[in-house]
Amino acid sequence: MKLGVFIVLFGQQSFEEALDSAKNAGCLAVEIGTGAFPGTSHVNAQAIVNDDAAIERIREAVQSRGLTISALSCHGNPLHPDQAIAKSHHDDFVATVQLAEKLGVDTVITFSGCPGESVNSKYPSWVTCPWPPDFLTVLEWQWNEIAIPYWKEQSAFLRKHGVKVAIEAHPGFLVYNTETAVRLRREAGDNIGVNFDPSHLFWQGMDPIECVKVLGDSIYHVHAKDTKFDKRNTAINGVLDNKNYGEILERSWVFRTVGYGHDDEFWKDLISTLRLVGYDGTISIEHEDGLMSVNEGFTKAANFLNGLILREKVGEMWWA
């Protein structure tokens, strides 16, 4: 298991500077944004997928620093009811898969997507309850008519290129928890797995440790990001909170740097459980902490996790 970072957080730096920042903090792997919501601050998959020289420059920049690429990420909504947005995000995904194959990267990360409530929709519609019964009608249409056919097609495309997709379970999209992740994999293809991010699970009331046990070998990649609850705001308003993430004092929960929402006991247990189910990949730091600068949040996360991952390696050697 190795420490990595999602380098979109260094979007103000050049690609080479971002790689240096990762290496200097003790990271061994980088996750690179290639389009859709993460943007193309460092790599634009559509622009370079057929540019062998540009691809070689990326490979050389990473390898010369002793780093590896854990994944290419193009988190988007290819099921968006606005066909222009859906096509843009789908095209980013296609180019990212092709680029991953050329770089020898086996994992691409994105979201499952979320359609509207019908073919006439303008915006996505995320169903969160079963009543009134219209909601279940919408939900089954979204899955059976849109999501499953789309992801079956993408599963075949991925298989052709020797790449797998790690879907990040995220509220607002069809795959947002464990059972929806399992459903998509079961119905669309076993090369469709999970980018495991506990921060999105905490606030839904889920136990990430138990989720890991269920997801097992479908976990293809892991994000390290924490969540902190405000007990008073949660007691008053619950966890379905649509206030801006910047309104930290008013929100029920916010994203935090690892260790600032849950202590090292949780993170030790998470890393240990990941190893128990066979995951030996990258723990990729993602920074969305509104109380810390990028440098502070990333540095604290790297120091925190480096110690835990090192202890896991020592334990492995002892048992061996």
Could you tell me what percent of the chain has a pLDDT over 70?
A: 97
Taking the domains of the chain in order of start, what are their residue ranges?
2-319
Those residues whose C-beta lies under 8 Å from the C-beta of residue 33, and which sit 6 or more positions away, are: 6, 7, 8, 39, 40, 41, 42, 43, 72, 73, 74
User: Residues 141-158: what's their mean pLDDT?
Assistant: 98
User: Residues 93-101: what's their mean pLDDT?
Assistant: 98
Residue 253 identity (one-letter amino acid): W
User: Residues 293-311: what's their mean pLDDT?
Assistant: 91
Judged by DSSP in three states, 20 sits in helix
Q: Per-residue pLDDT for 284 more than 80?
A: yes
Q: Which homologous superfamily does the CATH classification assign to the domain defined by 2-319?
A: Divalent-metal-dependent TIM barrel enzymes (3.20.20.150)
What is the pLDDT of the chain when averaged over all its residues? 96
Q: What's the pLDDT tens digit per position in 176-235?
A: 999 999 999 999 999 999 999 999 999 999 999 999 999 999 999 999 999 999 999 999
**Cβ-contact 311, 248 below 8 angstroms:** no
- Please tell me the distance from the alpha carbon of residue 49 to that of residue 43, in angstroms, as a whole number: 10
Which tokens in the block code for residue 253? Answer: 């929960």
Q: What's the pLDDT tens digit per position in 54-83?
A: 999 999 999 999 999 999 999 999 999 999
- Please tell me the distance from the alpha carbon of residue 78 to that of residue 89, in angstroms, as a whole number: 5
Residue 313: predicted pLDDT: 56
Which tokens in the block code for residue 302? Answer: 């790297």
Residue 164 identity (one-letter amino acid): K
**What are the CA-CA distances from residue 106 to residues 9, 32, 83, 95 (Å)?**
22, 13, 28, 14
**Whole-prediction pTM:** 0.95
Those residues whose C-beta lies under 8 Å from the C-beta of residue 198, and which sit 6 or more positions away, are: 208, 211, 223, 225, 226, 227, 270
Give the count of beta carbons closer than 10 Å to the beta carbon of residue 232: 9
- Please tell me the distance from the alpha carbon of residue 267 to that of residue 258, in angstroms, as a whole number: 8
H helix intervals, the chain: 15-24, 45-48, 52-63, 83-103, 134-141, 148-161, 178-188, 199-202, 208-215, 231-237, 264-276, 294-319
**Cβ-contact 221, 107 below 8 angstroms:** yes
Q: What's the pLDDT tens digit per position in 98-148?
A: 999 999 999 999 999 999 999 999 999 999 999 999 999 999 999 999 999
